[in-house]
Amino acid sequence: MTSIRNYLTPVKKGHLIGIGGVSMAPLAEVLAGMGLDISGSDMVNSEKIEYLRSLGIRVSIGHSAENLYPDTDFVVRTAAVRDDNPEIVAANEMGIPVFERTQAWGTIMQDYKNALCIAGTHGKTTTTSMCTHILMAAEKDPTVMIGGTLPLLHAGHRVGSGDTIVMESCEYYNSFHCFFPTVAVILNIDADHLDFFEDLEDIKASFRKFASLVPEDGHIVANADDKNTMDALVPLERKLVTFGLSPSADVYAEDIVTRGAQTDFTIMYKGKKYCRVNLRVPGLHNVKNALAAATAAICMNIKPVAVRCGLSAFTGVKRRFEFKGKYNGADVYDDYAHHPNEIRALLDAVEPLGYKRIIMVFQPHTYTRTNVLFDDFVEQLRRPDLTFLAEIYAARETNTIGISSSDLAHVIPNSLFFDNLEELEKSLRWTAAPGDIILTVGAGNIYKIGERLVAGQK
């Protein structure tokens, strides 16, 4: 089988399909910086594409066989690009090898002394962002790939010149099996993406293989509080560096003090004080994320002052409990939570904040997830004072199951179902009152409602 490493050398010509994507745009920038001749295509123009053009990268809008140059050496595509894409068809006809973006990132990763990969069913984006803050405070000049926008970077990526790369690493389609981590962080393992994985045991096996990619002199960082994680990793018979809320972990938290949306705590390492942190995002789940980031830093010999300064400067990531503004005296926040355990963590963080009412506007994400985790969704969506339910966001699926958000509404008290977002928004405008917190929640386009509310748009 042809290796992409043979093609990632100066002067080689590569074509990236979906070049404006969250991980493809920085990939193009990195490859161009390595001396390759890069071109690409995407469906729509964007600021990212204009930036790539400013670097001398040729980008075509729209997918066509004509976008491929006759002397193109290789093609890289995103997972969303199917085999019937005209550029993929043309590449196959022309005998040009086609690779996945994760294969390219994995190969690039091998050229870094430190390759920090953050994996887990929940919390990857936040923890990768926390790690980025720490590495920037430590002046490591890292290359970064995050699945969300980090205010510190004004983007979801950064191309550095240091010896460290930090990557958010997703399990879907086993994509993180292409990576070569020197430090692998596993935050948690839960039943999700069951349109691809057979069951929880299949997911555990995927994470176990990911952890096994760490070399003998590397580090596997594991959540000691998460049974699924420990069950998956113990069969490796490899040394784990653990984090958690219990002193039984290698890295744990003591003297946790909550003040509104802020949390102060002491990070302990093997029974001794490592540093004191002021965390400016709420919830114990974020304390755990911070502990994971600190543990990774310890494995990389980062000084405690960089961990303290990095975590204290972290104020969140776009679409992770992101404050959007106010509407009719109510605070409007947006969150990407689309799994029952993510909703639980969000509500655990919000409930102590003292709002008169919690109004959740939830848009389920994929029919498969809604169906398989139906009872878990019901348990969490009962908790807000009022739950507005939008129709399921299909994403990559078609509704062969025949499920609807109306099925959730039938069994959730104080819930309302809307089959279109316009009617939902109209009702929300009428309902919102001073002292409320409005949470727009989900991985689809539900965030637009909150943005329109605070902008005063109809």
Q: What is the DSSP letter of 8?
A: -
Q: How far apart (Å, rounded) are the C-alpha atoms in residues 423 and 389?
A: 11
DSSP SS3 for 333:
strand
Q: CA 352, CA 102: separation in Å to the nearest integer?
A: 40
Q: What is the CA radius of gyration of the chain?
A: 22
Q: Is 413 helix (H, G, I), strand (E, B) or coil?
A: coil
Which candidate, 99, 119, 135, places its Cα nearest to that of 8?
A: 99
Beta bridge partners of 158: 144
Q: Could you give the CA distance from residue 117 to residue 168 in angstroms, rounded to a whole number?
A: 6
Instruction: Please answer whether residues 85 and 136 qualify as being in contact, where contact means their C-beta atoms are separated by less than 8 angstroms.
Output: no
Residues with catalytic roles: 124-125, 168
Q: What is the three-class DSSP state of 437?
A: strand
345 and 337 Cβ atoms separated by less than 8 Å: yes
Q: What angle do CA 16, 22, 23 make, to 5 degrees?
A: 55
Phi then psi for 137, rounded to 5 degrees?
A: -65, -30
Q: What angle do CA 203, 128, 27 make, to 5 degrees?
A: 90
Cβ neighbours around 60 below 10 Å, total: 17
Cα-based distances in Å from 344 to 137, 138, 177, 217, 350: 32, 33, 29, 37, 10
Tokens of 358: 């919690």
CB 286 within 8 A of CB 257: no
| Element of type H or E holding 242 | strand 240-244
Q: Which residues in 209-238 are b (16+ Cβ under 10 Å) and which e? A: ebbebbeeebbbbbbbbbebbbebbeeeee
Answer whether 295's CB lies under 8 Å from 400's CB.
no
